[in-house]
Amino acid sequence: MQKVSVTIITMNEEANIQACLESVSWADEVLVSDSGSIDRTVEICKGYNAKVFLDKWFGFGKQKNLIASRAKNNLVLNIDADERVTPDLRKEIETVLNQDDCDGYNIPRKNFFGNRWVRYCGWYPDYNLRLYRKDKGSFNERDVHEAVKIDGKVGYLNAPLVHYTYRDISDYLKRMDRYSTLAAEEMLKNGRKVSYLSILSRPIATFLKMFFLQKGFLEGYRGLILSGLYASYTFSKYAKLWEMSERQ
């Protein structure tokens, strides 16, 4: 049987990391790249015999490639501190360890907002390619919304990865400020332009897509609020792009 290395990047994740590590205790090795935690994250990781590396921050994509480069196994499972590998997903991963069918596998995610699993708004199945052979793939080195690119065959798993996305609205708003800045910087770097039309239309399109096309209305108030929050994120992203362009 092939062996798998689990990679995790962290910064101040003491509220999440213990449950995350417990869910991957079956893995051959667990590697953590920590970028300046001032809470108990590193202490907890060492208590679970994870290989902890103290690294400066390079951006999400580069950070995940850095920690994967240290894995002793070719097969890598990348997860975030707020994600959990379910028993069913573990069994499915152990099944593919005996196979050489694919070079990467998309895994569905069950995303939670607060204590509720969100089935609509485009939040499920939310496939992410997280299990991959590092000689065949790596993360694109974007500052945000990074993803694994595979030079080979890609398959799909059925069992989900559980993702505790946001604790509440305040948690979303705090992270929205950071992620919208990173997204605006990425767009600026790629030569994207902003216009009245993009600032006005894109947030509206985001809301309509999530609430109607992706059936967010079936989530009730939660779907309405999530659609509005994501529209606000889109507005912030393009507003910050305008601001950054003005400074140049």
Please report the pLDDT score of residue 51 as a whole number: 98
In the block, residue with structure tokens 């332009």: 193
Q: Which of 97-106, 136-145, 232-241 tops mean pLDDT?
A: 232-241
Residue 1, pLDDT above cutoff 80 = no
Can you name the CATH fold of 4-165? Spore Coat Polysaccharide Biosynthesis Protein SpsA; Chain A (3.90.550)
Residue 139 and residue 61 in contact, taking contact as beta carbons nearer than 8 Å: yes
Please report the pLDDT score of residue 97 as a whole number: 86
Residue 204, pLDDT above cutoff 80 = yes
Backbone torsion region of residue 36, taken as left when φ is above 0, otherwise alpha when ψ lies between -120 and 50, otherwise beta: left
Give me the sheet containing 4-10, strands edge to edge.
51-54, 29-34, 4-10, 75-78, 128-133, 104-107, 154-156
Please report the pLDDT score of residue 100 as a whole number: 76
Q: What is the mean pLDDT of the chain?
A: 96
Q: Is 34 exposed, middle or buried (0-12, 13-18, 19+ CB in 10 A)?
A: buried
Residue 141 and residue 65 in contact, taking contact as beta carbons nearer than 8 Å: yes
Delimiting residues of CATH 3.90.550.10 domain(s) in the chain: 4-165
Task: Read off the pLDDT band of 144 (50, 70, 90).
Answer: confident
Q: What is the pLDDT of residues 176-201, one digit of tens each?
A: 999 999 999 999 999 999 999 999 99
Give the side-chain half-sphere CA count within 13 A for 95.
Answer: 11
Q: Is 212 exposed, middle or buried (0-12, 13-18, 19+ CB in 10 A)?
A: exposed
Q: What is the pLDDT of residues 80-103, one digit of tens each?
A: 999 999 999 999 999 998 887 899
